A and B are shown apart, each in its own frame.
Chain A
Amino acid sequence: MSVQVRHHPGINLSHARPEDERHTEVTVFGFWTFLMNDAILFALLFATYATMVNRTAGGPTGPELFDIGNAFVETLVLLVSSFTFGMGAVALKEGRERAVTLWLGVTLVLGLGFVGLELREFASLIGQGATAQTSGFLSSFFVLLSTHGLHMLVGCIWIVVMLVQVSTFGLSRQVRSRILRLGLFWHFLDLVWIVIFTTVYLPAVAS
């Protein structure tokens, strides 16, 4: 009977050899550094958006364009996908391979659903003549939202790659370590989305 000690954030896997554990600790910390780098990129896109939000150049404004219902559904899809990934992480910790595959699959479907909803929103905006070239406001809006959307798409591709690796290699040490980092990435995108609906959609719908 051993006391489980958590050594780093995210999923903590038990390692047979201490050098494996140190390796995981170092790579996870490195990945955190990348995520914080990414956070600064998003923060500056938010600053750009906040500066540009009233520069509509005679074109349509946020309150005229945004569909708050769609934004709410997108938020829920993303939140639930973060939760299902968490369930996958618990299954991973217990070494239940089928459950890991199942939860990763559910997360993938939700992630693709989110990307689909976002693309539908973009298509509807462009259909109303609100393209990225229309105004400074719409340029910064599309850059911010599509940067997040591209991250989501990369996350989905990463899930597919991990599903293939789980079916090929099983839950080997490297595979577990990679899924752990994918989890940090996925939860991080959820955090960015919270700031997006708080700064982009909610102020627009209230004004």
Chain B
Amino acid sequence: MSGPWEGDYRGHVVAQPSSDAQSETRSYVWGLGLAVVLTAIAFGLAVFKVLAGSALLAAIGILALIQIAAQFRFFLHIDLSRSKREDLQLILFTGLLILIMVGGSLWIMASLDQRMMG
């Protein structure tokens, strides 16, 4: 808890931003920077046709997952610390449900499509 912004506490009302607010601001700046860079890369890959077909889909999918993780970390303050374990478990469980439901739906519909339309 020491740093240049802490100053001298004795008899002072500290007007400077606390170290906590500083680190939170830094966290939001990091979040914004990462999000803009990842978004620009994803749009760049697609618009300038750097990759095509399934390679492109895989690349932008991975970029999206990284960006989601970054926003959880920097904007929503979810990390691996013990105090956030419950929330993280809730999010991961939801992720599992989504994986089962979305993956299952796509699988069934693609299979039906292949057998009935193809």
List A residues at the B interface (Cβ < 8 Å). 1, 3-10, 12, 29, 32-33, 36, 39-40, 43-44, 46-48, 50-51, 68, 72, 75-76, 79-80, 82-83, 86-87, 89-90, 93-94, 184, 187-188, 190-191, 194-195, 197-198, 202-203, 205-206
Q: In the complex, what's the smallest C-beta–C-beta distance from A157 to chain B, in angstroms? A: 21
Chain B residues with a Cβ closer than 8 Å to the other chain, count: 55
Nearest residue, chain A, Cβ from B79: A9
Residues of the A chain whose Cβ atoms lie less than 8 Å from the Cβ of B98: 39-40, 43
Nearest residue, chain B, Cβ from A43: B98
Asked if A83 and B32 sit within 8 Å, CB to CB, the answer is yes
Q: In the complex, what's the smallest C-beta–C-beta distance from B44 to chain A, in angstroms? A: 10
Residues of the B chain whose Cβ atoms lie less than 8 Å from the Cβ of A195: 64, 68
Asked if A43 and B28 sit within 8 Å, CB to CB, the answer is no
**Can you name 24 A-B pairs with beta carbons within 8 Å?**
A6-B83, A7-B83, A9-B84, A32-B87, A32-B90, A32-B91, A79-B32, A80-B32, A82-B32, A82-B71, A83-B29, A86-B28, A87-B25, A90-B28, A184-B76, A187-B76, A191-B72, A198-B61, A198-B63, A202-B42, A202-B45, A203-B56, A206-B49, A206-B56
Residues of the B chain whose Cβ atoms lie less than 8 Å from the Cβ of A39: 94, 98
Q: Which of A40, A51, A79, A203 contacts B57 (CB 8 A)?
A: A203
* Binding site secondary structure of chain B: helix
List B residues at the A interface (Cβ < 8 Å). 1, 9, 17-18, 20-21, 24-25, 27-29, 31-32, 35-36, 39, 42-43, 45-47, 49, 51-52, 56-57, 60-61, 63-64, 67-68, 71-72, 75-78, 81, 83-84, 86-87, 90-91, 93-94, 97-98, 101-102, 105-106, 109-110
Asked if B17 and A94 sit within 8 Å, CB to CB, the answer is yes
Q: Which of B43, B77, B83 contacts A10 (CB 8 A)?
A: B77
Asked if A187 and B101 sit within 8 Å, CB to CB, the answer is no
Nearest residue, chain B, Cβ from A83: B32
Asked if A79 and B46 sit within 8 Å, CB to CB, the answer is no
Asked if A191 and B49 sit within 8 Å, CB to CB, the answer is no
Residues of the A chain whose Cβ atoms lie less than 8 Å from the Cβ of B24: 86, 89-90, 93
